[in-house]
Each structure stands twice: as C-alpha cells, then as structure tokens.
C-alpha cells in the first residue's frame, strides 16, 4: 500500500488507517488478528479516542497484542479527547488527564498524535496551548491535530500554539460531500452552494493539514453504510460497474474515490472484518480516471452547475 506523510510532520503512514472504535466488541483473539492483519497490509496508523467503548477500545487493543516496545515501533497510535457526557471539554486539566488515561490503557509511553475531538466553544486557546506544550515537552504526545473543526477555529488555536497541527478529521464519503459541493457551486443560488465549513478543504490544502476522512462508507452520521443499500441504487450500480472493470470490490472503489482527490486525504476505515480490510486496501493500487471520479460523484445525486 502507498504511504503518505501526515501534515508537515515526519510521520509516514499507510494512506489508509484503521479506526478502532468497534474493537471493544471483540475478544482478545479476534482483536489480535484484526491488528496483525492490518499491519501486514501496511495499515499502520490506528485511530482511537478516549470515548470509544468508554475507554475499553484502547484497553482491548493493547491487551490483544501484549503491547511491547518492538511492536510499538511498528505502528502509529493516534487518540482523541474532548468529548464528555453531555458536553465538550478542552480544559488543560481534562486534556492532560485524558492523555494520561489513554497512555495507561494503550500501555505505551507516548502517542504519535493527539486530536481535539469536536469543537468546544468554551475553549480557552491559551489553556489548550499550555496543555499541548506540556505534553510535547514531556514526550507523551509527538504531534497534534483537530477533528471536525473549521479554518477559523483552527486559526484561533494556532494563534497560541506554535507547533504545526498535522490533521483535521472530517466526515467524508461518496454520499457526504459538503466540503466538495460548495467548491463546484460558487456564486450559485442553490443548496450545494452553501459553504458550511468556511472552505475547510482548500484551507487544509493550503496549510498542509492532512484531512482524515471518517465514516467513508456511511450516509448521514450514524444511519449506516450506503454500499449495498437499496436506498442508493444509482451510486451502487456505478460502484459495481467500475469495481468489476478493475477487478476489485465496490468498497475499494468507494475508497479509491477519496484517495483520488489531490488533497491526499486519508480514509479512516472502521471495519473489524480482516477480509473486508484486505479488499479495502486494494484501493491504494486503483487509479480512477477523472471521468470515473466525476461519474461516481454524479451517481451519488450531485449535479454539476
């Protein structure tokens, strides 16, 4: 599988990463197989969050593989913090405690990247910067990023924190494309012309921030997959047509559609099915033409102006 660099950092990772939210549902043997299979396929960035399984996902992950120094060096660990029960919390105290708890659960001395999970409108950027600086100087976190934030929110944080923010995790799939739609419909009086995120796609490209696409096979937020879903006949027909022509699965084509974008977007796939992950990573070797990319985009119900 091809690699990419996260933002301006020296972190070189597989261009597809594994989201570990559902690993808490597996027993130790199955979880170990998921992780080992991923590494063999070149998927070496594992995305966590303190709220996944209420912390159990990080515990299951580390216990499954009997985390040790040799194994730790073969992978990149990323976690997120800031979501609490009924509110968001970017306080220095919570960030520091969350990292301590994640390190304990993951049985490691450091994480490669820490992301702020959802915006907190009560954020004191000076306080976040203090937490980040303390974590960086202690060696507990090597790089930082955000999740679901727009350019102005990122700029507010950057005013006080001098380190590069390397990642912004944003929802993106073939049927969830608001960050792309607005760019096609500049100065139009239609619904897709509404800029909902302050031009986050272009902003991240300009600032060398890697967009990590979460829920790359989902429609809505938690409604479920669109692949194989009878509610999306046109896009599934086009996925199947292109998949058959290229000898891969429709899921691989949906992934290749994201990878084809020149923003170097990294899909975060959440499958706990080793065979499905094997099919997905084949997207790294699929070359979609410009015509195929646009055919897929239109098949998802998008009209070009």
Question: Is residue 197 classed as helix, strand or coil in its secondary structure?
Answer: coil
Decide: 33 and 274 in contact? Cβ < 8 Å.
yes
Name residues whose C-beta falls within 8 Å of residue 72's C-beta, 6 or more positions apart in sequence: 108
- Candidates 123, 45, 47; CA nearest to 91 is 123
Decide: 217 and 226 in contact? Cβ < 8 Å.
yes
Catalytic residue among 52, 110, 294, 297, which?
A: 52
Q: How many Å from the N-terminal Cα to the C-terminal Cα in the chain?
A: 36
Token couple for 91: 């306080």
Token couple for 204: 């991240």
Query: What element of type H or E holds 84?
Result: strand 83-84
CA 206/CA 89 separation, integer angstroms: 29
Which parts of 111-207 are beta strand (E)? 111-117, 141-147, 165-171
Decide: 56 and 25 in contact? Cβ < 8 Å.
no
Name residues whose C-beta falls within 8 Å of residue 218's C-beta, 6 or more positions apart in sequence: 171, 173, 176, 224, 225, 226
Name residues whose C-beta falls within 8 Å of residue 250's C-beta, 6 or more positions apart in sequence: 227, 228, 236, 239, 240, 243
Judge whether 110 counts as a catalytic residue. no
Decide: 77 and 46 in contact? Cβ < 8 Å.
yes
Residues with a known catalytic role: 52
């Amino acid at each position: 599988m091809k690699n990419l660099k996260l933002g301006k950092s020296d972190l070189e990772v597989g261009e597809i990463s594994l989201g570990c939210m559902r690993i808490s549902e597996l027993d130790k043997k199955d979880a170990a197989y998921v992780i080992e299979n991923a590494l063999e396929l070149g998927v070496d960035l594992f995305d966590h969050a303190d709220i996944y399984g209420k912390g159990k996902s990080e515990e299951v992950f580390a216990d499954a593989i009997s985390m040790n120094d040799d194994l730790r060096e073969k992978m990149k660990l990323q976690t997120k913090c800031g979501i609490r029960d009924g509110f968001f919390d970017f306080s220095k105290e919570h960030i520091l405690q969350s990292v301590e708890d994640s390190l304990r659960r993951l049985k490691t001395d450091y994480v490669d990247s820490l992301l702020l999970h959802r915006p907190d409108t009560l954020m004191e950027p000076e306080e976040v910067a203090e937490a980040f600086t303390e974590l960086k100087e202690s060696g507990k976190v090597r790089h930082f990023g955000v999740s679901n934030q727009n350019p102005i929110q990122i700029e507010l944080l950057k005013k006080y924190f001098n380190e590069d923010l390397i990642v912004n995790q944003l929802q993106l799939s073939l049927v969830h494309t608001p960050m792309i739609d607005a760019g096609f419909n500049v100065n139009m009086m239609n619904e897709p012309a509404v800029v909902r995120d302050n031009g986050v796609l272009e902003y991240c490209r300009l600032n060398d921030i890697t967009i990590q696409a979460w829920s790359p096979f989902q429609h809505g937020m938690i409604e479920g997959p669109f692949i194989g879903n009878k509610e999306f006949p046109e896009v599934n027909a086009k996925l199947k047509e292109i998949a058959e022509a290229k000898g891969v699965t429709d899921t691989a084509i949906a992934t290749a559609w994201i990878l084809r974008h020149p923003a170097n977007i990294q899909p975060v796939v959440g499958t706990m099915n080793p065979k499905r992950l094997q099919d997905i990573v084949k997207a790294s070797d699929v070359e979609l033409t410009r015509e195929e990319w646009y055919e897929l985009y239109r098949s998802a119900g998008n009209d070009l102006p």
